[in-house]
Amino acid sequence: MSSLTIAIGCDHAGFPYKEGIIAYLESKGYAVIDHGTHGLDSVDYPDFVHPVASDVESQKAVFGVLICGSGNGVCMTANKHQGIRAALVWQEDIAALARQHNNANVICLPARFISLEDAIRCTDVFLHTQFEGGRHANRVNKMTQF
């Protein structure tokens, strides 16, 4: 069981996956902050991304989960936030590397290109993988230096 809080958000394409991922996370003991959307009607993904990113930045949530059709829109939007390292993930190895090497704190999932089962497995790997630090820490620190 976990006491971690996870913030989650999606657009209309990601809505069915959001519901499945929330059910999975809650069954594992995670607290979930659901920022919507709450249906299949067309919406603008930034309206749901910004609250998730803000929760992670402010440490109200330890990690964020974002879902849209391709995963790209939610990822690009989340990465506009200074304290966010959002990673587009479509397989378990990518989820692990996003955490191990990039210290990602938001996972972005492409609902139109992976199954719900794969999305849940990727999320699980993401949440259970630790940042390796070491040589990767220097690289991560350089992400915001330009």
* Per annotation, catalytic residue among 68, 75, 108, 122: 68
Instruction: Retrieve residue 77's tokens.
Output: 């939007």
Note if 81 is an active site residue.
no
Backbone angles phi, psi at 25, to 5 degrees: -60, -45
Decide if 101 is catalytic: yes
Of 71, 82, 14, 78, give the one whose Cα is nearest residue 52: 78
CB 62 within 8 A of CB 104: no
Catalytic residue among 10, 38, 81, 101: 101
What positions carry a catalytic annotation? Answer: 68, 101
